[in-house]
Amino acid sequence: MPAEVYLDNASTSFPKPESVYQAAEKFMRYGGASPGRGSYPKAQESERILIKLRSKLSQLLGVRDPANLIFTTHATDALNLALKGYLKEGDHVVTTDLEHNAVLRPLTHLRTTRNIGLTIVKSNSQGKVDPDDIKKAVTPKTRLVACVHASNVLGTIQPIQEISRTARALGIPLLVDGSQTAGAIPINVEELGADLFAFTGHKSLLGLTGTGGLFVRSDLDLQPLREGGNGSHSNSLEQPTERPERYESGTPNMIGLVGLLAGIEYLLETGIDKIRTHELELNRALMNRLADISGVKIYGPEAQLKTAITSFTLGSLDPAEVGQMLGKKFGVCVRTGIHCAPLTPQSTIRLSLGWANTREDIDKACQAVSEIATAIYRRA
Ligand SMILES: Cc1ncc(COP(=O)(O)O)c(C=O)c1O
């Protein structure tokens, strides 16, 4: 079996920077205390780690007040908090056909439980949503626009600033699902015009699984998904009203968050621009090489207009079959299917690049696809 080539970074990034493993191990062995609940040095150190993480993440995402960043267990949890915490009986939501199940399933649930009205705007063949279509879908009952920042199927980056301008002009808040963009492209959440911005820690932010979060604009009040202890106002039976405590009950995933802090420090030191340029160059090379292979059809826009994803099909072969061959015979790890985006019209083979990929990885992957293509034509 050849050495593994990992091209499934849009699912979760791998490997992580060495500092992420070291920080998590150090915390497990020598730290380990719960933050905000003890007066001894280790507990205070855990508290300091969370304060530092909130501050560095605010720096990375362009959030002015770190208290507006709420930690969750992943983007799915953040999106559930945004949707279930904000929407009320009979509200109407405009969303898109590019959304992940992390948005569409809570909305479908809310349709039944809170009688939410839903309009799903269609993207074009390149996976891009037209802000005018969002505007046309708004009704007097619309209370939220929910749009993914970049599709996890095609990678297409959406015109979020224009969508935000449209929504703001109508007085409607905008929820952005930044699962595929946080850490992947430079972002300033407040300049972007997102009122709510959900992200996950284990993809391009280079942290560990079980981490994520939600930016909530200061004047937007969400109902918490859960109440409980967090070390503050312990003598009160009521949930604290201030942020972030209002939304962060229960002992946090400290190991994951320590890893996330190390991932974010790596990004701040290296520069997201630099990593973006590296991934862009590799993705361009990948697209060019794949396009030369007989039977390959690439979906979505040119590399500059998307995150480092290339989705393709190979002749009439079932993408799942191609994915299995790539994994088993060539050690190339990819994802196939509709990628948890249920309104995606086309099942594809998705190669998604990360900070650690090299030209050699691209060569090996393309060689593997080429060999599979040749084998099929021999078979036919
Ligand atoms: C666009 C998008 N939204 C939401 C999610 C859910 O992220 P998580 O599994 O970290 O909750 C993903 C993960 O693949 C995604 O790509």
pLDDT at position 125 is: 95
Residue 333 among the catalytic residues: no
Going by alpha carbons, the residue nearest to atom 15 of ligand 1 is 179
Relative to beta strand 212-216, strand 69-72 is antiparallel
Q: Report how far ligand 1's centroid is from the alpha carbon of 175 (Å).
A: 14
Backbone φ and ψ for 242, nearest 5 degrees, come out as -85, 160
Could you give the domains of the chain? Answer: 5-16+271-379 (3.90.1150.10), 19-270 (3.40.640.10)
Q: Which residues line ligand 1 (CB under 6 A)?
A: 11, 74-76, 100, 102, 148, 152, 177, 179-180, 200, 212, 340
* CA distance to 40, 117, 156, per residue, from 233 (Å): 19, 38, 45
Q: Report how far ligand 1's centroid is from the alpha carbon of 327 (Å).
A: 22
3-state helix, strand, coil in the chain (%, to 5): 40, 15, 40
For 80-192, strand residue ranges (E) read: 92-96, 117-121, 142-148, 174-177
Q: Which atom of ligand 1 is nearest to the CA of 77?
A: 11
Rounded CA Rg of the chain: 21
pLDDT at position 1 is: 62
The preferred substitution site among 179, 181, 197 for testing ligand 1, maximizing ligand atoms within 8 Å of CB, is 179
Q: Report how far ligand 1's centroid is from the alpha carbon of 81 (Å).
A: 14
pLDDT at position 338 is: 86
Quick one: DSSP state of residue 286? H
Q: What's the CA gap between 69 and 58, in Å, rounded? A: 7
User: Could you read off the pLDDT tens digit of each residue along the chain, which spans 380 residues?
Assistant: 668 999 999 999 999 999 999 999 999 999 988 897 778 999 999 999 999 999 999 999 999 999 999 999 999 999 999 999 999 999 999 999 999 999 999 999 999 999 999 999 999 999 999 999 999 999 999 999 999 999 999 999 999 999 999 999 999 999 999 999 999 999 999 999 999 999 999 999 999 999 999 999 999 999 999 999 887 788 889 999 999 999 999 999 999 999 999 999 999 999 999 999 999 999 999 999 999 999 999 999 999 999 999 999 999 999 999 999 999 999 999 999 988 898 988 899 999 999 999 999 999 999 999 999 998 777 66
pLDDT at position 376 is: 78
* Start-to-end Cα distance in the chain: 27
Q: Which residues contact 139 (CB under 8 A, 6 or more apart)?
A: 92, 117, 119
For 69-226, strand residue ranges (E) read: 69-72, 92-96, 117-121, 142-148, 174-177, 196-200, 212-216
User: Which tokens in the block code for residue 371?
Assistant: 């060999």
Q: Tokens 């859960």: give the residue.
A: 226
pLDDT at position 380 is: 63
pTM over 0.95, yes/no = yes
364, β-bridge pairs: none
pLDDT at position 319 is: 95
